[in-house]
A = this chain, B = another copy of it.
């Protein structure tokens, strides 16, 4: 479900005080995000706090299809609330990670896949006929205020039209609007993301982390103080309310009965 692979800090050297910990989504067929996978991501990112850095990747051609909508349609309200709680925990763990998190977006990465990635430090995206973006509106859902703020932080003035349209964009447009930081051939995404994570890890540690903390403070603040559960609860309730809205339910169910 989530493969954990530790890479030495330099390509040929031994691992030192910490490693680059790769978390590779592995939930066939489409790396759909269910509560268990999200919980594992949250725990794995938090658990890497003393490593040199974190890398989050998928399989060639696919990063993640987003939330596991088919599975979610089987869940009752407590189950859905739990899923949104785990989504909050995963995005919070990435946003508030004490070490840099680099995403290797190995292919398609709509909705939930993009939600995870925009909380990271750096995004390498695969060239090709792949799409990413927050397309919640297209399936009758709403990207909540915290997600919209994180998105807008990256893409600035492009956020309004992209979110209103529930737009999925191709890699070139994603680079243009600032949604990803670099494009490369699909076969090179993981190596490039690993190289980037290693380059960041090789920087003078104190100055890098201090600069990073300063620049990410507004993002961290969106998630509220660690001790407080109120924003998590708010997000969970908002997610479940949205999910069970009659219009959303009929649209989501139609997605799967159509096929």
Give residues in A with beta carbon < 8 Å to B. Answer: 100, 121-122, 136-143, 145, 148, 152-161, 163-166, 175-178, 181, 199-200, 203-204, 206-208, 210-212, 214-216, 219, 245, 247-248, 251
CB distance from A259 to the nearest CB of B (A): 19
Q: Which residue of chain B has the shortest Cβ distance to A213 in the bound complex?
A: B164
Extra 6 A-B pairs, beta carbons < 8 Å, given A121-B164, A165-B208, A206-B245? A138-B204, A154-B157, A164-B215, A176-B176, A177-B178, A206-B247
> A204: which B residues are within 8 A, CB to CB?
137-140, 247-248, 251
Let me know if A164 and B211 touch, CB within 8 A. Answer: yes
Q: State the 4 A-B residue pairs at the shortest beta-carbon distance, nearest first.
A: A140-B204, A154-B157, A160-B215, A164-B212
Interface of chain A, main secondary structure: helix
Q: How far apart sit A208 and B210, CA to CA, in the bound complex (Å)?
A: 39
Q: Is the CB of B164 within 8 A of A200?
A: yes
| A156-B156, A161-B122 as given contacts; A141 in contact with B203, CB under 8 Å | no
> Nearest residue in B to A100 (C-beta to C-beta)?
B164
Shortest distance between the CB of A198 and any CB in chain B (Å): 12
Contact A148 B215 (CB under 8 A): yes
Complex A-B: 13 CB contacts under 8 Å: A121-B164, A122-B165, A137-B207, A137-B208, A139-B204, A155-B157, A158-B178, A158-B181, A160-B215, A164-B200, A166-B211, A175-B176, A204-B247
Selected contact of A211 from candidates B163, B199, B200, B206, CB within 8 Å? B163
Known A-B contacts A161-B121, A161-B122, A165-B200; the reply to A137 vs B178 at CB < 8 A is no
